[in-house]
Chain A
Amino acid sequence: MREIYYRQAINEALRQEMERDPDIFLAGEDVAEHEGAFGTSQGLLARFGEARVIDTPISESAIIGLAVGAAATGMRPIVEIMFMDFMGVCMDQILNQLAKMKYMFGGKARLPVVVRASCGAGMRLAAQHSQSLEAMLCHIPGLKVVMPSTPADAKGLLIAAIRDDNPVFFLEHKGLYRIKGPCPEEAFTLPLGVAEVKRAGTDLTIVATSRMVHEALAAAETLSGRGIDAEVIDPRTVQPLDTETIVASVKKTHRLLICHEAVRFAGIGAEIAAQVAEEAFDYLDAPILRVAAPFTPVPFSPSLEDAWLPSAQKIVEAVERMLPVGV
């Protein structure tokens, strides 16, 4: 299969879906003339015109509200919040309008909105351009949250998100835009709420999200050299969360480590750990461990940011504490 960049996969999904359905439009800061801060909307203005590929003012509340009002009246908006950190500006429209309209109105409203946003650290962009705030979104009933880790997942999940009739937050790790991977050329969907086993193994389960999937896979390679066979699961969507696949794996391996880039406290790892404890407690041979960021804002200086980020090495160290070599 041909290989493309993650950002190309997103671009291709946008283009193919906009060709399929004239009710879809894309709006956000610098998405049209500038073709997106990360190049994800390359060629879309030229292809679809300014009525459907729309530069907005720097007005995040109006961007989300545009999507809410347009979706409630029959359109299928895709809007971009350039950095998910900026969701602080438009949180009311996300939390009280977009997420709740359907339930508050007794099921009447249909809100097929996709909010795309970049997330993640490692680019030396400091505290307000580096966060992974998926747990905050997952805590709000009514929203779905997708975190693709590969080009193919990005394409299949984005098309599924666009075709979904619910508000979906699609979180693109900015450290992944330039990774390459195999990806089908035709439009295809991957179901929201279905995890993928990225590496099969027998000795422990590592659940990792977004860019941390790649760290977990690297850790698994290192561990295999030390006789430890790790299974790596990427939930791909964190809301809904495929607990079933995770629990089935833990019942096989009897050990669980969760890795995400967001701060550890009250992160998605806490929810996964709780659900596994509820459903597979008797199968666990060791305490559940979490490798995640410390409870601080993302620091700027490279030495500090590198220390802040979870990594393959930190996963390996945690596994060796959980499962000493030779046991």
Chain B
Amino acid sequence: MDLSAEKLRSMYERMVTIRQFEEEGGRLSQAGRIPGALHLYVGEEAVAVGVCANLNDDDYITSTHRGHGHLVAKGGDLGRMYAELFGRVDGYCHGKGGSMHIADLDLGMLGANGIVGGGPPIAVGAAFTAKARGRGQVAVCFFGDGASNEGTLHEAANMAALYRLPVIFCCENNLYGEYTPQARHQTVVDVADRASAYNMPGVVVDGMDVMAVYEAAFEAIERARRGEGPTLLECKTYRYYDHVGVNATATYRTDDEVARWKSRDAIQSFRDRLLKQGLLDEAEDEQIQARVRQRIEEALRFAEASPLPSADQLLEDVYT
């Protein structure tokens, strides 16, 4: 697929942004400056970017507990994201949601979700609106291999197929449901096999290859926009850190396995490809890295300058 150099570089920059946002978030969490739990997206950047590079601002996504990458990929504001992680009043949710509930409804990002399998039925609802409005919008539902064992996914997949709704069920198979390896939580190797039960295409793609993800997502999204219904797109990927937090303990997976996946790092390999194809040079890469660093620093300054919400906001926003 021929994409402009500009588009490819912007996808690369988004991936770098997710990586830096998350690495910095991890450092701040370890330093005790972010309250609560963080589920880092590091390692899986090609999935969010490869999919969301096909989306418009008025397309919808539902996300997961590991949701920062999805919002960055959809075009989220880094300052408001950090402010939310810090629990500040200028955060996306005015400090009421935090990492696991970060959302930007104006960008069609219908929320990270603290409940595994919480998102699929909601994506069906968003796709219902899209179909009713008839403007060719789609809804992408991100979920993991763990969530593929939740009943909600199966109810949602069946309903989406039945009504031919424009949903893309995007499975980020990072091989572990929390700390349990896939082979110990399901008998299938490919979650995409389950698509046949709902009479929808099931596609497996290398989730470390952003172009492969982009192309497979392009097909699924165009199909949905044409009114031909949902697709289950499975991206094989890998989580560099533990399920939660900034450690990478070796008790549940081998050093060898981690090293093998990191040797195929999505950002590094995309960079190498762009350099080789002459679509990026070292100087441009340095500019991108520096620009992202600067945006992260600005975002952190914005977030740190934002006050904590005052107690009089406690009772607001329960009802309209």
CB distance from B184 to the nearest CB of A (A): 24
Residue of A nearest to B130 (CB): A73
Residue of B nearest to A165 (CB): B320
With a cutoff of 8 Å between Cβ atoms, the chain B residues found around residue A164 in the complex are: 320
Contact for A104 among B111, B124, B155, B320, CB less than 8 A: B111
Contact for B159 among A62, A74, A101, CB less than 8 A: A62
Q: How far is the CA of A239 from the CA of B136 in the complex (A)?
A: 39
Q: Tell me whether A66 and B114 are in contact (CB under 8 A).
A: no
Residue of A nearest to B159 (CB): A62
Q: Tell me whether A57 and B93 are in contact (CB under 8 A).
A: no
Q: How far is the CA of A56 from the CA of B161 in the complex (A)?
A: 12
Chain B 60-77 against A: per-residue CB contact (8 Å), 1 yes, 0 no? 101000000000000000
Known contacts A68-B121, A73-B129; is-contact A57 B96 (Cβ 8 Å): no
Looking at A60, A64, A106, which has the most chain B CB atoms within 10 Å of its CB? Answer: A106
Known contacts A61-B121, A69-B122, A69-B128; is-contact A106 B115 (Cβ 8 Å): no
Q: Tell me whether B159 and A75 are in contact (CB under 8 A).
A: no
Known contacts A97-B115, A106-B317; is-contact A62 B158 (Cβ 8 Å): yes
Which residues of chain B from 257 to 312 have any CB-CB distance to chain A below 8 Å in the complex? none
Known contacts A104-B93, A107-B94; is-contact A61 B105 (Cβ 8 Å): no
With a cutoff of 8 Å between Cβ atoms, the chain A residues found around residue B124 in the complex are: 62, 65-66, 69
A67 within 8 A of B: yes
A141 within 8 A of B: yes
Q: Tell me whether B320 and A166 are in contact (CB under 8 A).
A: yes
Known contacts A57-B159, A69-B129, A105-B93; is-contact A62 B317 (Cβ 8 Å): no
B35 within 8 A of A: no
B9 within 8 A of A: no
B246 within 8 A of A: no
Chain A 39-71 against B: per-residue CB contact (8 Å), 1 yes, 0 no? 000000000000100101101111011111111
A223 within 8 A of B: no
Q: How far is the CA of A69 from the CA of B129 in the complex (A)?
A: 8
With a cutoff of 8 Å between Cβ atoms, the chain A residues found around residue B151 in the complex are: 61
Interface size on B, residues (CB 8 A): 47
B8 within 8 A of A: no
CB distance from B106 to the nearest CB of A (A): 8
Q: Tell me whether B125 and A57 are in contact (CB under 8 A).
A: no
With a cutoff of 8 Å between Cβ atoms, the chain A residues found around residue B159 in the complex are: 56-57, 59, 62, 66
A209 within 8 A of B: no
B78 within 8 A of A: no
A142 within 8 A of B: yes
Known contacts A62-B159, A75-B132, A101-B111; is-contact A68 B125 (Cβ 8 Å): yes
With a cutoff of 8 Å between Cβ atoms, the chain A residues found around residue B125 in the complex are: 65-73, 77
Contact for B155 among A57, A69, A102, A144, CB less than 8 A: A57
Q: Tell me whether B118 and A141 are in contact (CB under 8 A).
A: no
B195 within 8 A of A: no
Q: How far is the CA of A233 from the CA of B93 in the complex (A)?
A: 40
With a cutoff of 8 Å between Cβ atoms, the chain B residues found around residue A61 in the complex are: 121, 151-152, 155-156
B97 within 8 A of A: yes
Q: How far is the CA of A55 from the CA of B294 in the complex (A)?
A: 52
A20 within 8 A of B: no
Q: Tell me whether A69 and B320 are in contact (CB under 8 A).
A: no
Q: Tell me whether A70 and B129 are in contact (CB under 8 A).
A: yes
With a cutoff of 8 Å between Cβ atoms, the chain B residues found around residue A97 in the complex are: 113, 115, 118, 121-122
Q: How far is the CA of A97 from the CA of B110 in the complex (A)?
A: 11
A288 within 8 A of B: no
Contact for A72 among B120, B122, B162, B163, CB less than 8 A: B122
Chain B 235-272 against A: per-residue CB contact (8 Å), 1 yes, 0 no? 00000000000000000000000000000000000000
Q: Tell me whether A107 and B156 are in contact (CB under 8 A).
A: no
Residue of B nearest to A111 (CB): B320
Known contacts A69-B139, A72-B105; is-contact A141 B318 (Cβ 8 Å): yes
B residues with a Cβ closer than 8 A to A are 60, 62, 91-97, 101, 103, 105, 108, 110-111, 113-115, 117-118, 120-130, 132-133, 139, 151-152, 155-156, 158-159, 162-163, 316-320
A-B contact pairs, 28 of them (CB 8 A): A56-B159, A61-B155, A68-B122, A69-B124, A69-B126, A69-B139, A70-B126, A72-B110, A72-B125, A72-B126, A75-B129, A75-B132, A92-B115, A92-B118, A102-B318, A102-B320, A103-B318, A104-B93, A104-B101, A105-B93, A105-B103, A105-B105, A106-B94, A106-B97, A110-B320, A142-B318, A164-B320, A165-B320
A residues with a Cβ closer than 8 A to B are 25, 51, 54, 56-57, 59-62, 64-75, 77, 92-93, 96-97, 101-110, 141-142, 144, 164-166
